[in-house]
Amino acid sequence: MQKTSKAENILRGASVLTLTSLIAKILAALYRVPYQNLVGDAGFYVYQQVYPIYGIAMMLALGGLPMFLSKITVEAKDDDELSLMLGKCFMILSVISVALFLLLFFGSNFIAKSMGQIRLAPVVKMSAMSFLLTPFLSIFRGGFQGKLFMTPTGVSQVLEQLLRVAVIWFAAFGFATLDFSIYQTGTLAMSGSIIGGLVGCVVLFLYFRKSELLPIQFSKEIWRKKTPHHLFRRMIFEGGVMSVYSGFLVILQLVDSFTIKKGLQNFGMSESDAEITKGIFDRGQPLVQLGLIVALGLTSSFLPALTKNFLEKQEKSFQENARLLLKLSFTLGGAATVGLIALLPFINKTLFQDEKLNGTLSVFLLAIVLMVMIQALQSLAQSKGNYRFPLVIFLVGFVVKMMLTAPMTEHFGTFGASFSTIFTLLLVFLCFYFYERAYWLPVSFYVKTMISLVIMAGVLYVYRLFFQEITSRMATFALSLIGVILGGGIFVAAIFFMSVFDEKEQQKIPLIAQFLNKKNKK
């Protein structure tokens, strides 16, 4: 009974985190659209060049480190051990975060020059301050999650994003009405991350004082006590793997910040044209995020079942649910990818006012299905306590991305830049896929799913051709919505017609199971 109760608490907690993280991700994806509309592609370039630095800080504060610290909290034998472990983790994180802040803040001129524009230095300095908040955000969120108290994480995350988005929009309106430069606007927009992060810290601290769940001590005694020898190693391997895969695309985007602009100049563009083109290229980030929200949002609702199977040592159920997770990841990720590519001219026009770089962005959108599959496979490896292999594969992918981006951009422009990201993700996916052979899916599943995707793509392509002369943003917005409904309906009908999921699997998929139960009652 105790195990069941624990599993049920995890299920409820996972539901809270899923909902709040979805809200935060939607805010994070959508704020870029009005920002780009107000500051233009050059202004968008300034913000996106430096954004990966902030993104990595939040990757640590929102993703991997809280998950690792929640494990530390669960494993502690008593409050004294928990107090020591969390205190030592805070100490290690503080040293690392301060070091990163100092490196970025005082190296901002060098970093800005390396990115191809010295005027980015103030934006880099502002983003560097985000690392000072990482230890506080991580330790509180991880501790609360380990105690199965998810509300503080959810509330702080949503409030943090709301304030950050408000400041970013204020900066964009300042550019439009107060004659800010694009660099002043970028610096002010980046300050939203500091303001939002501070509010997040305050919210978490208030929950900490009120709940008295966590025996965290920020005293000098913690610094004097000997650090358990395994703690730093675990933080690097376990916390590191959880972090890098929660923000894999952000890390790859950081490589783009240092290479693409220079690559475009070597491709033959002037400096100003290269900056504007990089700004257009960066539209792919929010588009991919939107696709990932749809795909990961639905698959993440299925992950708690895997956790329950693992806790209760139900190996057969774990295998079945793992394969179903991969099936869901491929079908939903594939549908989001193909749908966005098929409707991209309408979506690009609706969100960003024109249809520039449709071909390049179409290639970049392949990142959706690859990232969804990588996240699923990595979570399976993580559930079995395997961290070394995922870390090695990440490092291999990172090196490949660094080696490919500059030469590919110099020879093929933005198309080459997109290809370098997709090739990297494909390599990482294949490494995971061949490593996790126990969860291989039958070829027939991929054939049926691909046929369904081709049918959907064909219908949407004809639909798009029929309305290709329409240029009004309001009209393309309506056409995009209708296209999403049309494409989604066609795809769902196709996978049901070809029995991509059997009856047992359909009963395990939340939305489908509810529909079937209602249908049977009638």
Condensed to tens digits (0 to 9), the pLDDT of residues 346-381 reads 999 988 888 888 999 999 999 999 999 998 888 777
Q: Within a domain: residue 359?
A: yes
Cα–Cα nearest to 32, from 20, 21, 46: 46
Range of lowest pLDDT (15-24, 37-46, 332-341, 494-503): 15-24
Q: Which two tokens stand for residue 330?
A: 């491929």
User: Structural domain tally of the chain?
Assistant: 2
pLDDT value at residue 4: 46
Task: Taking residues 312-330, report their average pLDDT.
Answer: 78
Question: Do residue 208 and residue 271 come from a single domain?
Answer: no
Q: Within a domain: residue 416?
A: yes
66 or 303, which is more confident?
66
Question: Do residue 225 and residue 263 come from a single domain?
Answer: no
Q: How far is CA 196 from the centre of its chain?
A: 18
The one-letter amino acid code at 100 reads: L
pLDDT value at residue 1: 41
What predicted TM-score, i.e. pTM, was given to this entire model?
A: 0.86
Most confident option among 134-143, 227-236, 273-282: 273-282
Question: Do residue 437 and residue 463 come from a single domain?
Answer: yes
The answer, yes or no, to whether residue 31 has pLDDT greater than 90, is no
Q: Within a domain: residue 440?
A: yes
How far is residue 458's CA from residue 307's CA, in Å, rounded to a whole number? Answer: 38
Q: Within a domain: residue 405?
A: yes
294 or 317, which is more confident?
317
Of the pLDDT bands very low, low, confident and very high (cuts 50, 70, 90), residue 424 is very high
Question: Do residue 458 and residue 375 come from a single domain?
Answer: yes
pLDDT value at residue 515: 47
Q: Within a domain: residue 241?
A: no
Q: Within a domain: residue 353?
A: yes
Q: Which two tokens stand for residue 68?
A: 């690792």
Question: Do residue 72 and residue 39 come from a single domain?
Answer: yes
How far is residue 38's CA from residue 258's CA, in Å, rounded to a whole number? Answer: 25
Q: Which two tokens stand for residue 255?
A: 């490589």
Q: What are phi and psi of 311, to 5 degrees?
A: -65, -40
Q: Which of 204, 235, 266 is the last residue of a domain?
A: 235
409 or 23, which is more confident?
409
The answer, yes or no, to whether residue 481 has pLDDT greater than 60, is yes
The one-letter amino acid code at 451 reads: I
pLDDT value at residue 15: 59
Do residues 44 and 282 lie in contact, with contact meaning Cβ atoms separated by under 8 Å?
yes
Question: Do residue 53 and residue 183 come from a single domain?
Answer: yes
Mean pLDDT over each residue of the chain, to the nearest integer:
83
103 or 152, which is more confident?
103
Question: Do residue 273 and residue 180 come from a single domain?
Answer: no
pLDDT value at residue 409: 95
Of the pLDDT bands very low, low, confident and very high (cuts 50, 70, 90), residue 227 is low
Question: Do residue 414 and residue 292 come from a single domain?
Answer: yes
360 CB-near residues (< 8 Å, 6+ apart)? 281, 284, 413, 414, 415, 417, 418
How far is residue 55's CA from residue 250's CA, in Å, rounded to a whole number? Answer: 6
pLDDT per position as a tens digit, 454-475: 999 999 999 998 888 887 888 9
> Angle, nearest 10°, between helix axes 121-128 and 32-58?
60
How far is residue 238's CA from residue 67's CA, in Å, rounded to a whole number? Answer: 9
Task: Taking residues 259-280, report their average pLDDT.
Answer: 93
CB atoms within 10 A of CB 509: 19
Q: Which of 202, 235, 268 is the last residue of a domain?
A: 235
Q: How far is CA 117 from the centre of its chain?
A: 27
Burial 228-260 (b: 16+ CB within 10 A, else e): eeebeebbeebbbbbbbbbbbbbbbbbbbbbbb
CB atoms within 10 A of CB 171: 25
pLDDT value at residue 435: 86
Q: Within a domain: residue 336?
A: yes
Of the pLDDT bands very low, low, confident and very high (cuts 50, 70, 90), residue 512 is low
pLDDT per position as a tens digit, 136-180: 888 888 888 777 777 787 788 888 888 988 999 999 988 888 888
How far is residue 101's CA from residue 132's CA, in Å, rounded to a whole number? Answer: 7
The one-letter amino acid code at 350 reads: T
What is the residue whose two structure tokens read 């869901």? 328
Of the pLDDT bands very low, low, confident and very high (cuts 50, 70, 90), residue 118 is very high
pLDDT value at residue 511: 54
The answer, yes or no, to whether residue 71 has pLDDT greater than 70, is yes
pLDDT value at residue 416: 94
Q: Within a domain: residue 1?
A: yes
Question: Do residue 192 and residue 296 come from a single domain?
Answer: no
Q: Which of 235, 264, 285 is the last residue of a domain?
A: 235
Of the pLDDT bands very low, low, confident and very high (cuts 50, 70, 90), residue 66 is confident
The answer, yes or no, to whether residue 212 has pLDDT greater than 90, is no
Give the domain extent around 80: 1-235
Do residues 477 and 470 lie in contact, with contact meaning Cβ atoms separated by under 8 Å?
no
Question: Do residue 254 and residue 230 come from a single domain?
Answer: no
Question: Do residue 400 and residue 505 come from a single domain?
Answer: yes
Question: Do residue 342 and residue 467 come from a single domain?
Answer: yes
What is the residue whose two structure tokens read 């000997």? 226
